[in-house]
Amino acid sequence: MSHAVEQARRGSGRMKRPLWGGLACAAALTLVTLAPPADASTPATGSGRSASPVSSASPEFGGISWSTQRVAPGVEVRTGALRDSAAAPVWSVTVQAPAVNRLTGAATWAPLGDRVWADATAVRLRDAGLEPRLERVTWDDYSDTPHGTMGWQVRVGRYATQTEAGAANTAVVAAGFRTAVEWTGYDGRQRADGENIHVAVVDPARFTGTVGATDDGNVADRENTSTVAARLGSLIGVNGGFFITSDADGVQGTPAGLSAEHGRLQSMAVGSRAALILGDGGRRPRIADLSTTVTVRDGSAVYGVQGINRVPGKVRNCGRPGAVPTVEPRHDTTCTLADDLVEFTPAFRAALPVGAGVQVVLDRRGVVVSVGDRGGAVPDQGSVLQGVGGAAEWLTRHARVGRRLALSEVIRDSSHREVRLGPDDTVVSAAPTLVENGRVHIDAATEGTLDPRDLSFGFAWSNVRQPRTLAGVDGRGRLLLVTVDGRQPGVSEGFTLAEAARFMRSLGAVRALNLDGGGSTAMAVDGKLVNVTSDATGERAVGDTIQVLPRRRTS
């Protein structure tokens, strides 16, 4: 699941909840102003002691006052508020530019266009008695996109309130323009006036508990991060990776990217995307770009499995061989596969998808129990294969009751090295990579969150400030879990991807990635939600979470 790109229009007069309401009173709480680390331009390494996670030496994140909650030995949460009185965001009307979806050829709209369009639009607006302003938008600090000018935005008016901007918008629409009413504080090209940030730091050298990604035993389910945290007795909980939110795209709650629990895949990778590997119960956290290959074998006959625990023929976020309209990762896009073989594990506790194709039920040893129509449920000690198109034909030829089909799973990193998972290893993935080898390295185009050839895709998701959840590993091997609130005009704006990367680097992260965000962004401490979520209906139920659990007492 991704950020919803629409802006939730919350007024600046909203009352904020206390930062530490509901936390256990036994925990130590101090208010400190942390000194900045060494020059953030110097890459952190694993060989020496890196600075504690603090605000950057850069003025962008300088001067944050942090309240520090020591939750357990080796585990603390720092909450900071960044305020910039020099920033002066306003409400404005942004004219949308006609565009064409690069993959489908369908007519659509983009929040910016080229200079020819911007100049022509300005003339039309003036002819209608309106006064436009043209704003140049440059490419952010991505590793795989062009540099310089991305395009031009055309805006009308500067208003103190959304209501005033809405009234002005009526006149712009009446003049024949497609528009959006926007808070300019979300623009990454100007300073934010406010950010509310939570940073959880887990030191494996001192922490005696475990850290893992969990879907709470059911990949086909959604639950609030704080609810899972309270039930598990978690010290810290944050939301995890992308997941399906609409029945049109698959089964709600199922991952839209690589997921693994207890060392076994529960969902396959979207191309090669960033993933957080919580090895040995979180004692060995690391971040890498991972891809997956799964096959089923009948003797010498082999067929590729393209999905785990998803609806055959539908691939959320694309990134699989044979996918249409693209085999590359494409965020918030559902591709189709005419020939598709999907495995279902016992973690899929919903009714199995029905429809055309063939279903094979296997016991725990991989022996075929039945062959027939799709539907029913996954056996507790077995698995299910569903095939459509060519995959259905392969199953019809090779699946015979009593015959064994061998399934194999391989995970590889970007250097093509195999990543072997043990029973205490979990993986959660999202996109894109933010920091690599101690330097900002955002591969937004490669991981499919932005398209340099299609400005109608990914601009708001990547270049506009949004609520974000981030994960990183610093030079001492400590796990950093970060949330920043957003969509709160005048209170907390959120981060662009580039700001998120620079902030993680300022904490000393040597590797970092963007997790799911938007309305999904949530952090719970001692089972209580501590950040302000952005969905109008409250905390969003998510597909999976990352939980920091205390050591279990033994009787």
212, 549 Cβ separation under 8 angstroms: yes
Q: What CATH code is carried by the domain that includes residue 322? A: 2.60.120
User: Is residue 39 exposed (0-12), middle (13-18) or buried (19+ Cβ within 10 Å)?
Assistant: exposed
Q: Are residues 365 and 314 in the same domain?
A: yes
Q: Are residues 98 and 54 in the same domain?
A: no
Judge whether 23 lies within some domain.
no
Q: Are residues 443 and 376 in the same domain?
A: no
Judge whether 9 lies within some domain.
no
Sole residue written with tokens 């103190």:
160
| Alpha-carbon distances, residue 261 vs 422, 516, 533 (angstroms) | 9, 18, 27
**Given this model, what pLDDT does residue 39 score?**
33
The number of distinct structural domains making up the chain is 3
Enumerate the β-bridge partners of residue 94. Answer: 155, 180
Q: Is residue 46 pLDDT above 60, yes or no?
A: no
What's the CA gap between 20 and 529, in Å, rounded? 9
Q: What is the pLDDT of residues 81-133, one digit of tens each?
A: 999 989 999 999 999 999 999 999 999 999 999 999 999 999 999 999 999 99
341, 296 Cβ separation under 8 angstroms: yes
Q: Is residue 19 pLDDT above 90, yes or no?
A: no
What is residue 483's three-state secondary structure? Answer: strand
Q: Is residue 285 pLDDT above 70, yes or no?
A: yes
Judge whether 63 lies within some domain.
yes
**Given this model, what pLDDT does residue 216 score?**
85
Q: Are residues 214 and 73 in the same domain?
A: yes
pLDDT-derived band at 2 (thresholds 50, 70, 90) equals: very low
**Given this model, what pLDDT does residue 512 score?**
98
Residue at a domain's end among 157, 186, 215: 186
Q: Are residues 78 and 221 in the same domain?
A: yes
Judge whether 391 lies within some domain.
yes
pLDDT-derived band at 42 (thresholds 50, 70, 90) equals: very low
Amino acid at 522: A
Retrieve residue 99's tokens: 């565009």
pLDDT, mean of residues 35-50: 34
Q: Are residues 122 and 230 in the same domain?
A: no
Q: What is the pLDDT of residues 248-261, one digit of tens each?
A: 999 999 999 999 99
What's the CA gap between 124 and 308, in Å, rounded? 52
- For residues 77-99, one letter each, b for 16 or more C-beta atoms within 10 angstroms of the residue's C-beta and e for the rest, the string is bbbbbbebeeeebbbbbbbbbeb
Residue at a domain's end among 165, 186, 207: 186
Retrieve residue 357's tokens: 């194709």
**Given this model, what pLDDT does residue 1 score?**
45
Range of the domain at 115: 91-186
Retrieve residue 96's tokens: 């949308």
Q: Are residues 316 and 463 in the same domain?
A: no
pLDDT-derived band at 18 (thresholds 50, 70, 90) equals: very low
pLDDT-derived band at 17 (thresholds 50, 70, 90) equals: very low
Judge whether 505 lies within some domain.
yes
Q: Is residue 8 pLDDT above 70, yes or no?
A: no
Higher pLDDT, 409 or 56: 409
**Percentage of the chain exceeding pLDDT 90:** 86
What's the CA gap between 315 and 271, in Å, rounded? 11
Judge whether 415 lies within some domain.
no
pLDDT-derived band at 76 (thresholds 50, 70, 90) equals: very high
Q: Are residues 78 and 225 in the same domain?
A: yes
Q: Is residue 434 pLDDT above 70, yes or no?
A: yes
475, 48 Cβ separation under 8 angstroms: yes
Judge whether 261 lies within some domain.
no
Retrieve residue 76's tokens: 């603390």
Q: Are residues 356 and 220 in the same domain?
A: no
Higher pLDDT, 47 or 419: 419
Q: What is the pLDDT of residues 331-350, one digit of tens each?
A: 999 999 999 999 999 999 99
> What phi, psi does 475 have (nearest 5°)?
-70, -15
Q: What is the pLDDT of residues 165-198, one digit of tens each?
A: 999 999 999 999 999 999 999 999 999 999 999 9
Q: Are residues 441 and 502 in the same domain?
A: yes
**Given this model, what pLDDT does residue 271 score?**
95
Q: Are residues 334 and 477 in the same domain?
A: no
**Given this model, what pLDDT does residue 223 score?**
97
Q: Is residue 529 pLDDT above 60, yes or no?
A: yes
DSSP state of 151: E
Higher pLDDT, 253 or 65: 253
DSSP state of 186: G
Judge whether 65 lies within some domain.
yes
Radius of gyration of the chain from its Cα atoms, rounded to whole angstroms? 24
pTM of the predicted model as reported, rounded to 2 decimal places: 0.89
**Given this model, what pLDDT does residue 59 score?**
64
What's the mean pLDDT when you consider all of the chain? Answer: 90
Residue at a domain's end among 410, 439, 462: 410
Q: Are residues 212 and 313 in the same domain?
A: no
